[in-house]
Amino acid sequence: MTTTVRTRVAIVGAGPAGLLLSHLLAEAGIESIVVDQRTRDEIESTIRAGILEQGTVDLLAQIPGSRVHTVGTRHDGIELRFDGHGHRIDFPGLVGRSVWLYPQHEALKDLIAARLAGGQDLRFGVTVHRVEGAETDRPSVFATTADGEDLQLEADFVVGADGSRSNVRVAVAGSHTGGYFREYPFAWFGILCEAPASSEELIYSNSPDGFALISQRSATVQRMYFQCDPDADPQALSEAEIWDTLQNRVPGTTLTEGPIFQRDVLRFRSFVAHELRRGRVAIVGDAAHTVPPTGAKGMNLAVADVILLAQALESLLTRGDGGLIDGWAEKALRRIWKAQHFSWWMTSMLHVAPDASDFDRLRQLGELRSVVESEAGRTYLAEAYTGWPLEP
């Protein structure tokens, strides 16, 4: 037996994009249901990155009970390190903006608590199989609940915020893989360790043996990465070997070591779906696009998609005006491709390709110098990293 539930907007995915969208829609008086395959605990305990642009922080700060300003920390710059020297990119000095470090799972805890307190219908453990009726006024989501019951969500509009393995994407782009994409011949070996921060700001380091990033999660937990082979086995290195690799890749800084409690290999790729909307179904965030993590753009891009989509849905569903939704994908794609470029550029400028020749290596140092030694170069980086303003 199938239970059918009516809603105005069916949102698949309770990550930052889906939850923020339900919040913005509720503010506009539009009711929605959010479903996610994962349990609440899984969503809230997966430790993920969170470099937030000013616009993202301003939006999160409006969520009742948000801890973004108390638990998050403002970062006024990053360091680019190469050829044994560090170069600070001073964000406020260059563009009058900063970024905030607020791990994604902390933002998700705030969002889930606020949405539930606001009476949001939010269902965990729901597996979505397919979406039908994109070209009609009544698109539907077909799913199975945590108890194994069939569930149909019949809506005015369906949004897939269901991550890089999106099932909703099939209803929009025609297949799971329908998109523009690029793979990279390297990955990141990431660790979480219990230690105080080794540096106040993030260090993006290019060294002859490859890239490393020194990031943070809190005063007592640090996140660090080093470039590795995409097929590397995260269990193959001892803790001592991991620390040797990291120390060697950030010459000039002595990293404070501590017990490593998580390790993973993150493959990366750039992806943009061929279509972001078909009729009354749209995809946002990682369901629509993936960026390599070097530019810290992932969550911010998802938020920008959703801000634009909420405006378009308000126009469509409360005033019957389809003008904004018709232009939504094109508008969102302008920012998405700028962020794709920035993420690709930071990645290729800082990593050492496995087949790099001496020419490539020296050219790369020339590129890094032309960025840090030029105010225009530093300004481009600061502008993109802290986030472009949303177009009106």
Nearest distance from C-beta of residue 325 to ligand PHB, angstroms: 32
Residue 293: active-site member: yes
Pick from 223, 280, 289, 331 the residue near ligand PHB by CB under 6 A.
223
Task: Using alpha carbons, select from 195, 231, 194, 256 the residue that is nearest to residue 354.
Answer: 231
**What whole-number distance in Å separates Cα of residue 197 and Cα of residue 211?**
19
Residue 385: active-site member: yes
Q: Is 75 in the site for ligand PHB (CB under 6 A)?
A: no
Q: Which helix (H) or strand (E) holds 325?
A: helix 323-350
Residue 354 CB partners (closer than 8 Å, separation 6+): 185, 186, 229
Measured from the CB atom, the residue of 34 and 381 that comes closer to ligand PHB is 381
Q: Which of 109, 297, 331, 351 is catalytic?
A: 297
Q: Quote the DSSP letter at residue 278.
A: E
Nearest distance from C-beta of residue 142 to ligand PHB, angstroms: 35
Nearest distance from C-beta of residue 215 to ligand PHB, angstroms: 3
Task: Using alpha carbons, select from 339, 250, 266, 296 the residue that is nearest to residue 102.
Answer: 296
Measured from the CB atom, the residue of 49 and 308 that comes closer to ligand PHB is 49
Pick from 19, 43, 49, 63 the residue near ligand PHB by CB under 6 A.
49
Q: Which of 139, 204, 289, 351 is catalytic?
A: 204
**Phi and psi angles of residue 214, each rounded to the nearest 5 degrees, phi first:** -105, 110
Number of residues located near ligand PHB, criterion CB under 6 A: 9
Nearest distance from C-beta of residue 154 to ligand PHB, angstroms: 39
Stretch that binds ligand PHB, among 68-76, 129-137, 291-299, 332-340 (CB under 6 A): 291-299
Measured from the CB atom, the residue of 173 and 224 that comes closer to ligand PHB is 224
**What whole-number distance in Å separates Cα of residue 212 and Cα of residue 193?**
15
Sign of the torsion formed by the C-alpha atoms of 133, 138, 139 and 145: negative
DSSP 287-315: GTEE--GGG--HHHHHHHHHHHHHHHHHH
Stretch that binds ligand PHB, among 114-122, 237-245, 259-267, 290-298 (CB under 6 A): 290-298
Residue 228 CB partners (closer than 8 Å, separation 6+): 186, 187, 188, 189, 210, 265
Distance of CA 251 to the CA centre of its chain: 29
Nearest distance from C-beta of residue 204 to ligand PHB, angstroms: 7
Cβ pair 5, 151 in contact under 8 A: yes
| Secondary structure (3-state) at 148 | coil
Q: Is 197 in the site for ligand PHB (CB under 6 A)?
A: no
Residue 75: active-site member: yes
Query: According to CB under 6 A, which residues from 293 to 312 bind ligand PHB?
Result: 293-294, 296
CA atoms within 13 A on the CB side of 7: 26
**Which residue's entry shows tokens 């430790």?**
47
Stretch that binds ligand PHB, among 19-27, 153-161, 289-297, 369-377 (CB under 6 A): 289-297
Nearest distance from C-beta of residue 382 to ligand PHB, angstroms: 14
Residue 235 CB partners (closer than 8 Å, separation 6+): 263
Measured from the CB atom, the residue of 264 and 391 that comes closer to ligand PHB is 264
Measured from the CB atom, the residue of 100 and 243 that comes closer to ligand PHB is 100
Q: Is 215 in the site for ligand PHB (CB under 6 A)?
A: yes
Measured from the CB atom, the residue of 200 and 391 that comes closer to ligand PHB is 200
Pick from 11, 51, 303, 306 the residue near ligand PHB by CB under 6 A.
51
Task: Using alpha carbons, select from 223, 226, 198 the residue that is nearest to residue 212.
Answer: 226
Measured from the CB atom, the residue of 137 and 194 that comes closer to ligand PHB is 194
Residue 31 CB partners (closer than 8 Å, separation 6+): 7, 8, 9, 25, 121
Residue 297: active-site member: yes
Nearest distance from C-beta of residue 202 to ligand PHB, angstroms: 6
What are the catalytic residues? 75, 204, 293, 297, 385
Q: Binding residues for ligand PHB, per CB under 6 A?
A: 49, 51, 202, 213, 215, 223, 293-294, 296
